[in-house]
Copies of this chain bind each other. A is one copy, B any other.
């Protein structure tokens, strides 16, 4: 009756119009050399005339390749993901792949559900940023994806599955360079503001390594992390509130540290706020370094020195990694660590001379 959907021309119709069998048309479509130049041209002309595009679902049925990949991320609103997604999508489009996006929102059930949905859709491959939680990370689900013959590239968080490729920023040396920069400026009492996700551990390791290299003893009381007892469990990545709270706690220390290494920019911005409230100037009284180089970090009232991850590039590379594996499924799994870069702005300065600083005369808020 109301067959709304326009009937599209199919290969049969093209064949008929060109006076040739549909096998031949198929050959033309697939650039087979087994077709005479003259017929090829004739067929091509008709195809163009009529605006025919081969039906990818029929194609997929026959070829078992859907030219579709899955992408599952922990949370779209974490600032590094959008660019990663962009990198993946852009590169995928170049290769005529489509990407199905899934956002687990840090929810294990959603992650499992999305995973199953993707495999049932017969994706050709998967790029996945698993939920960052050593306890329960749907490991079996991921394994079953591999068992179905679908290759996986792991992003940001490693899972112990030997067949998976892995790509991530190399957090340890990145943090190390940042902290070293602070040390060179004369700082010796440097606080570390922890994030909740496990990569932050590597950043802490980098922090420790930098200290060690300069013979500065590690002082555990300078490391701040979310207080689960007080706040209850929050699953979100470290945010402005964390930075604010850490900073508040830190300022009770005596002497107050002269610099802060933050595990991300949101934490840094929270620290900024507390520092402003209490009248501490950046960088004269205290230096701050962030991580991620989010868009606004250059436009805070004191532009933030921070570690920049090449997010777009990472996205691009992860797709390329996946392509390689789709083409060559049995090669050995790769692990790629991407170099980050310290971008120096205004939030770090030489250590102050005086021993003690005055707190509390803060700007009015």
Contacts and interface: CB of A to CB of B under 8 A. Distances in A.
Given A117-B93, A122-B56, A299-B269, A5 B239 contact: no
Nearest to A8: B148
Contacts of A105: 86, 90
Interface in A147-176: 147-149
Interface stretch (A15-23, A26-34, A94-102): A94-102
Contacts of A244: 299
A5 B6 CA distance: 35
Which of the four size classes fits the interface of chain A? 35 or more
Contacts of A119: 53
A287 to B, nearest CB: 15
Contacts of A269: 296, 299-300
A77 interface: yes
Given A4-B329, A55-B122, A113-B93, A240 B101 contact: no
A100 B98 contact: yes
Contacts of A190: none
Contacts of A288: none
B85 A76 contact: yes
Interface in A55-102: 55-58, 60-61, 64, 66, 68, 71, 75-77, 81-83, 85-86, 89-90, 93, 96, 98-102
A83 B89 contact: no
A270 interface: yes
Given A103-B90, A105-B90, A301 B299 contact: no
Contacts of A103: 85-86, 89-90
A98 B121 contact: yes
A6 B101 contact: no
B149 A240 contact: no
A108 to B, nearest CB: 14
Contacts of A4: 149, 329-330
A105 B77 CA distance: 18
A273 B295 contact: no
Interface of A: 2, 4-6, 8, 53-58, 60-61, 64, 66, 68, 71, 75-77, 81-83, 85-86, 89-90, 93, 96, 98-103, 105, 110, 113-114, 117-122, 147-149, 239-241, 243-244, 266, 269-270, 272-273, 276, 295-296, 298-302, 329-330, 346, 365
